[in-house]
Amino acid sequence: MSTTAAPPSQEGGFTRRDFLRRLGYAAAVTVAAGGLGLWRHDAQGPVVQSPKKVLSGLGDFSLPNFRGEAGKMAIAEGLDRAQTVGRGLEALGGMGAFIQAGDSVLIKVNAAFATPPALGATTHPELLAAVAKLCFQAGASQVLVTDNPINDPLTCFRISGLEAAAKQVGAQLILPRPALFQPVSLPTGRLLQQWPTLAGVFTGVSKVILLSPVKDHQRAGASMTLKNIYGFLGGRRNIFHQDINGIITELALLLKPTLCILDGTVAMVTNGPTGGSLSDLKETGAMVIATDPVAADAVGVEILGRRLDDIPYIRMAAAAGAGLADYERLKPVVIPAK
């Protein structure tokens, strides 16, 4: 501190008050820097991963009265998708049995590749339009359509005709973007730990419908309903091909859909899951509608002309409690073509 009273300077008119003001400034710097420093002090050092909110799954959207052996299944035969899906649903009590007024419905399509609908590598746009329309008719307040495809998302939705189909019936397309991904650690999962998933699209959603084509798949045996859930994964998910049956089994536990619609109108029987030629396709004329994704895929295996032994994940998913591999126990209603 100054020992003599500061003489007012001729030029500056400096007074003791000015000095005190500057002292106040220095004291403020001391308090601010000291406070901030001590408050933000980190003696331990950073942790390995920045903690993020981790989900335990994407949700259970199944209807309680359609679980297990009470599940419902219809198989409608024919080649007109709008017709077969409508008749199949009718046999299960109509779309109104699954979708009620005010429901916000998320439709997960398979839009994996940027190929035209005729090549059968993606969910058929006519099917999407028909199902979304039925949802709206049942009173759905909104219908969302999404997938995290393998090729560029927007191109996939465009070329596959799914974007136009959604637009045509008033459904809203959600393209994957970083903000929509959140890590999931499946409690019983060995593979799905801290893995980014497209969880953001489920905000406000009350019902989930999986719309999947029936396709050949070299590594997995077949790509149908359960493999379609793979499209909710983000990150460098292809490391999971080291254990494809394991990951599909966990996917069956990651999400329980309200309804599964497996489109076997035309099946991709060779060169899957990309196809690329009309000669890879075969008219199989079946539309499977089921509440149980495992049972739906068990039918899909037959549509492809394969055996359950060829596709281990179906029995593994059933053993994990995701559904029934023995679909006959659901007493499927078979509706022959008119």
Binding site for another protein (CB under 8 A): 2, 6, 9-12, 14, 18-19, 22-23, 25-26, 29-30, 33-34, 36-38, 40-43, 45-46, 48-50, 191, 194, 235-236, 239-240, 242-243, 246
**Smaller CB distance to another protein: residue 152 or 309?**
152
Peptide bond connecting 273 to the previous residue in cis, omega within 30 degrees of 0: yes
Give the span between the Cα atoms of 338 and 80, in whole angstroms.
Answer: 11
Query: Which is nearer to another protein, 105 or 199 (by Cβ)?
Result: 199
Q: What is the CA radius of gyration of the chain?
A: 29
User: What gap in Å lies between CA 311 and CA 197, rounded to an integer?
Assistant: 25
Nearer to another protein, 30 or 65 (CB): 30
- State in angstroms the smallest separation of the CB of 263 from another protein: 31
**Residue 205 or 247 having the CB closest to another protein:** 247
Which of 16/331 has CB closer to another protein?
16
CB of 222 to another protein, least distance (A): 21
Closer Cβ to another protein, 10 or 101, answer by number? 10
CB of 193: closest distance to another protein in angstroms? Answer: 10
Q: Which is nearer to another protein, 48 or 101 (CB)?
A: 48
In the complex, minimum distance from the CB of residue 104 to another protein, in angstroms, rounded to a whole number: 31
Determine the Cα–Cα distance for residues 247 and 323; give it in Å rounded to an integer: 16
For residue 72, the minimal CB distance to another protein (Å) is 35
How far CA 165 is from CA of 103, 109, 124, 160, in Å, comes to 20, 12, 9, 9
State which residue, 33 or 118, has the beta carbon closest to another protein.
Answer: 33
Decide if 267 contacts 223 (C-beta within 8 A): no
Give buried/exposed letters for 259-280 (b at 16+ CB in 10 A, else e): bbbbbbbbbbbebbbbbeeeeb
Least separation in angstroms between CB 317 and another protein: 18
Cβ at position 59, least distance to another protein in Å: 24
Report the chain's terminal Cα–Cα distance, integer Å: 103
CB of 166 to another protein, least distance (A): 29
Question: Residue 186, SS3?
Answer: coil
Q: CA torsion angle for 50, 55, 58, 60 (degrees, to 10)?
A: 180
Spatial distance between the Cα atoms of 44 and 269, rounded to a whole number of angstroms: 58
302 contacts: CB under 8 Å, gap ≥ 6: none
Q: What is the identity of the amino acid at 27?
A: A
140 Cβ contact partners less than 8 Å away, ≥ 6 residues apart: 99, 101, 102, 103, 104, 105, 207
